[in-house]
Amino acid sequence: MTTASNQVALFSSEELNELFGEYKSFRRIAVGVSGGADSMALLYLLKQWTQELGFSAPELYALTVNHGLRAEAAGEASGVAQYCTRIEVPHETLHWVGEKPSSNIQSEARDARYALLRQAAEDHGCEALFLAHHLEDQAETFLTRLARGSGVYGLACIRKDREIDGFQICRPLLETSKVRLKSLLHSAQVPWFEDPSNEDEQFTRVKFRQAQQELDELGLTAAKLSDTARRMSRAADAIDVWVDEVAEKSCTFHSAGPVRFDSSCLEYIPDEIGLRLVGRLVRYISGAPYMPRLAKLEGLYETLKAEDGSRAATLGGVRFALAKPHDESIWFCFREAGRAGLPEIEVKPGDEGIWDDRWRYKAAHSAESFKITYVQKELCGDFELEIPANWLKTAFLTAPLIVFAGGVSYMPWKKIGRTTADAEVRSRTYGISMVPVSRTF
């Protein structure tokens, strides 16, 4: 374990309230704690804040992920657990199991960490997950995305608060420097671990971190880069207001998942608005947490605007298909099964989870197992789906389908099935629910 320079940097009650005051309404908070200086400082500050609030304060749960990528990780997780015992905060170590990637390691590990933290937080009944991204993280993210050629939304970088399917991701330290956090730990005599990968120059972020001193001399300080990212966020929010208005007029959303999109709107709106609209369609339909990379999105956008006879396109697992030859502006957007098909899972009594990143299922008190598949796989086109007028039948083939023992099927998005009454009775009796992960466009 290491300590910082001997500089007093304790936070006042006013500073704590500025950092966390808006989160007082939470009942339980999960804190991602790797053992590094940033996350240990976040945990310390949250503990200090909740102690000052008293009985009305949110409960804290500390969560550490052991990726299994370094031999030292187990010891670090144990060190975090010991500190949590000392300050009386419940702690759990989560493990990333399975085969580890040989490339794109940091990105894959980050995705795995978020998934584990999110699931554990929900298991503990937490309403939010707090992460320790700070000022320099924001600056590094900005530079990384700038080098990648990102647009307004990419350069908006890390948001302080983000809601995903009713769950909050909070990063209250985005305007706090790492130097201040390390000074706090030294002053409060809180230990931390250093991850050697933070100095590994094979990672792009590390290269930008090491170049920051030279950038400071040019006036590109972490604070100024962070300010620019914040202003980009403001511009992105303004664009989204316009996108919402266009979507309301040009998009029709079906409860099964597909969207009917009138692309004639692209003729009169600025390209930035159109790109964001199409990107949000891809994210909404696929269930992905983020929109596709801008370069790929621009290719799809040009296809939708073109008048060269293009009749279909695919991006991010979402298919865009023109309705009819005589209507060159109506596109149907829907989840594509792909060559491998969509997942089929067996659900046992009491199980809950997410199917295909799009639908959350729960068998609250089911007395029998059932299968979740998709319409095309089970019905093979031999069943009347009662497709609404002016909709493409193909767009519904990747909608979810519940199949009970004996072949009784139930479409959770539309109360129809081979034996409708039987399926509905079973669904109600056994407390089976299946709803979209998020209805937010």
**For 173-314, where are the alpha helices, taking DSSP H only?**
178-188, 204-217, 222-250, 271-286, 294-305
Q: Which residues of 85-109 are buried (b: 16+ CB within 10 A; e: fewer)?
A: eeeebebbbbebeeeeeeeebbebb
CA distance 39 to 296: 35
Determine if residue 34 is labeled as part of a ligand binding site. Answer: yes
Determine if residue 38 is labeled as part of a ligand binding site. Answer: yes
Determine if residue 35 is labeled as part of a ligand binding site. Answer: yes
Dihedral sign, Cα of residue 198, residue 202, residue 203, residue 208: positive
**Measuring CA to CA, which residue among 42, 311, 50 is closest to residue 182?**
42
CA distance 27 to 266: 45
Residue with tokens 């000074």: 183
The SS3 of residue 333 is: strand
- φ/ψ region of 159 (left if φ > 0, alpha if ψ in -120 to 50, else beta) reads beta
Report CA dihedral (197, 138, 116, 78) to the nearest 10 degrees.
50
Q: What are phi and psi of 55, to 5 degrees?
A: -65, -25
What tokens were used for 400? Answer: 């979810």
Contact of 340 with 328, CB cutoff 8 Å: no
Beta-sheet strand order (sheet of 327-335): 251-253, 259-262, 327-335, 318-324, 312-315
Q: What residues contact residue 407 under an 8 Å CB cut-off, 6+ apart?
A: 418
Determine if residue 78 is labeled as part of a ligand binding site. Answer: no
Determine if residue 98 is labeled as part of a ligand binding site. Answer: no
Residue with tokens 């990063």: 171
Q: What is the DSSP letter of 100?
A: P
The SS3 of residue 23 is: helix
Other beta carbons within 10 Å of 389: 4
Q: Which residues are annotated as a binding site?
A: 34-39
Q: Which residues are annotated as a binding site for ATP?
A: 34-39
